[in-house]
Amino acid sequence: MTRRIVLAMSGGVDSSAAAVLLKRQGFEVIGLFMRSGATEEPQVCRLPSGADGVPAAIQLPILGTKPNKQGCCSASDAADARRVADVLDIPFHALNFADAFGRIKDYFADEYLAGRTPNPCVMCNNWLKFGKLWDFAVSVGADGIATGHYAQINEIEGQPALVRGFDRTKDQSYVLAGINRDILGRILFPVGTYTKPAIRELAAEAGLRVATKPDSQEICFIPDNNYVGFLERHRGKPDTGGDFVDTAGKVLGKHSGYEQFTIGQRRGLGITFGEPRFVIRIEPDTRRVVLGVYQDLARKELTADGLSWLVDDLPSSFRCHAQIRYQHTAAPATVELIERDHVRVLFDEPQFGVAPGQALVLYDGDRVLAGGWIQQEELAPTP
């Protein structure tokens, strides 16, 4: 029997190529575009009558595509996704997930105002793309879900495992580490065994106009990349101004809001020195932003909580590689379990730019062991 798969379609080249690959592999593909706003007029879409046991009475709200740009979840992206679906002759739905996106926006604002560095893409995957997407798949009797992420699901020791994508320059396993383990075996990443150039070539050969479409670089709900402006619009102008200080507590100047800064930031400080200075620490209670030299960013260990484990029966202490941000090279480390969802990570060598609020992902080779959230970092010992 043909397997039905719901594919998250963003209107970009990766998810579009994923649709081509799934069709070639014989799957019955249903495309789903996840809209972040509520600016369109709702309509109703019906699945074809009698399609593999799905009652024709199931009605699915879809959204029109007015030409108003709204980040990577915009009407123009929805139109691109719909055109791809038309070319490939697959059912297509554009659903409004404004409430779920609202939760992600609240999380984003809360973290910055707490002096932490959020990762909305990880949260979006955890809550929306692999939460609501799965719920929709269940509602239409699908056997699984798929996305255009560069990652792989391989069987290891008889269990589905999340593994890095073949194209290491595009690997997205880091932002997928928090997905629900229970559905791991129901997920497909069709582009995970390809390089990006190969995916663009495949899309071009299939006659898809999105083959040359640029990758989205911004956060989808902040298309102008001005997150400070977003915070003001979302929460109003907070009273968060304070002092720049050095690592000894000496006042160096004033800033207008600590939420404007992230750990490791060098540019845009609004204050100059004779040598490069970096944001070392953010103190929301005192409103101080601590600046220092690059070596002051070194951290030997950290603690993380909210661990989502994708493996069983790990010992209380084990070796692995730990990745502390998307573009960080995972570093050798020893992990100690404090509690099931709380760990201490001790790096073999100091790491630079460890930021509370960012995702921590643990790897055994290419396999993802777990994902969690950095809570605290400890200074590296002075040489």
In this structure, what are the phi and psi dihedrals at residue 99, rounded to the nearest 5 degrees?
-65, -45
Judge contact between 164 and 174, C-beta under 8 A.
no
Could you say which of 72, 73, 121, 124 is catalytic? 124
Judge contact between 38 and 31, C-beta under 8 A.
no
Judge contact between 264 and 295, C-beta under 8 A.
no
Beta strands in the chain (DSSP E): 4-8, 28-35, 42-46, 59-63, 92-96, 144-146, 151-156, 159-164, 187-188, 242-245, 251-255, 278-283, 288-292, 298-309, 317-323, 331-339, 342-352, 359-364, 367-379
Could you say which of 72, 73, 220, 320 is catalytic? 220
Residues 298, 295: Cα–Cα separation, whole Å: 6
Is residue 220 among the annotated active site residues? yes
Judge contact between 7 and 18, C-beta under 8 A.
yes
Residues 21, 18: Cα–Cα separation, whole Å: 5
User: One-letter amino acid identity for 317?
Assistant: S
Is residue 121 among the annotated active site residues? no
Q: Kindly list the catalytic residues.
A: 124, 220
